Amino acid sequence: MLNRLLEMLGNVVGNGKLSILIYHQVVEQRDSMRPTEPTSATFEWHMRLIRAHYNPLALSQAVSALKNGTLPNNAICVTFDDGYLNNLTVAGPILHKYQIPATVYIATGFSNGQNMWNDQIIHLFADTSKEKLSLEGREVTLGRWHQRSELANQWLQKLKYLPVDERQSKVGEFYLENGMGQQRSLMMNPDQLRELADLDITIGAHTVNHPILKTLPEDEQRAEINDCKADLESWLDRPVEHFAYPNGIIGKDLDQTTIDLVKEAGFKTAVVTDWGPCSKSTSPWLLNRFTPWDKSPSRFQLRLLKNMLSS
């Protein structure tokens, strides 16, 4: 009954507004080092709720409907960033079961077997054979999962805004310093991306190396954006028309130069990570997204409702 009431409220406050959800991974079982990533069971009830109480749309369909004023009430899109293999193996069957369209944005530099720098840091702290790590010449004591996750996040924040080469060099130093081997690949390769695209999942671009674009000179930004698009179109043999800005906070991670370069590359839409709904006045190259983190269907819907009410 409560879910139905929240759906009715959404029909009122969500008229002409689009909600876009952002996910990264969907894991089979809870991952203590990634406690905010939904399990397959959690993601399933997310999608079941969306199918029952919302109007899930493909991103291109939703943006077109926003523009011409035909967006249905409680319209929603599902998106994923980075290109994790579990988008295909875990999330894919659930999306198919509930007939939910989705867009998956790929950072193509990690489609060749290498993991993203953040996952390499998490793997470093997750190694239970180690009680201590040596980082930049300092010894760090490791404890329970909560502390390991917290320490990993502190280092992720510390390294996030470094130049790509310097960031990766730091990660390499940490692995050498601690005698660590690389984790198996967590990302989709080109064959797996084609398999995902054949499920009618839209593939979008997310740069090559996942840099913070605003920190780069214009020519390096252009290369990251255009080379990613070229990679994907070569692998998939189809146009790639949608883009996600890495990290994605307007003003902090991207600026007008970045937006202009995305337009210049021929993308029809681009998504950010600023919260709020999208409306007819929202630029198609600055589409808002957010992630409800609540653990129950009613609270999940309340968070969606709150997001629709935000400006």
Contacts of 232 (CB under 8 A, 6+ apart): 106, 108, 193, 203, 205, 240
In this structure, how many other beta carbons lie within 10 angstroms of the beta carbon of residue 210?
Answer: 23
Question: Residue 311 above 80 pLDDT?
Answer: no
> 294: which DSSP letter?
-
Give the pLDDT score at 200.
86
Q: 2-112+186-309: which CATH topology? A: TIM Barrel (3.20.20)
Percent of the chain with pLDDT over 70: 95
Bridge partners of 79? 22, 103
pLDDT mean over 208-235: 98
CA-based max dimension of the chain: 59
- pTM for this predicted structure: 0.94
Pairing of β 18-23 and β 75-82: parallel
Between the CA of residue 93 and those of 22, 187, 227, what are the distances in Å?
18, 17, 30
| DSSP per position, 179-228 | TPPPPPP-B--HHHHHHHHTTTPEEEE--SS---GGGS-HHHHHHHHHHH
Q: How far apart, in whole angstroms, are the C-alpha atoms of residue 133 and residue 139? A: 6
Give the pLDDT score at 121.
96
Residue-wise pLDDT for 73-123, tens only, equals 999 999 999 999 999 999 999 999 999 999 999 999 999 999 999 999 999
The SS3 call for residue 75 is strand
Pairing of β 242-244 and β 75-82: unpaired
Residue-wise pLDDT for 226-249, tens only, equals 999 999 999 999 999 999 999 999
The SS3 call for residue 230 is helix
Give domain limits for the chain: 2-112+186-309, 117-177
* Gap between the terminal Cα atoms of the chain: 28
Q: Are 192 and 138 in contact (CB under 8 A)?
A: no
The SS3 call for residue 295 is coil
Give the pLDDT score at 134.
94
Question: Residue 143 above 70 pLDDT?
Answer: yes
Give the pLDDT score at 292.
81
Q: How far apart, in whole angstroms, are the C-alpha atoms of residue 17 and residue 77? A: 11
Which residue is it, tokens 């989705």? 102
Q: Are 285 and 261 in contact (CB under 8 A)?
A: no
Residue-wise pLDDT for 253-298, tens only, equals 999 999 999 999 999 999 999 999 999 999 999 999 998 888 889 8
Question: Residue 149 above 80 pLDDT?
Answer: yes
pLDDT confidence bin for 308, thresholds 50/70/90? confident
Question: Residue 9 above 80 pLDDT?
Answer: no
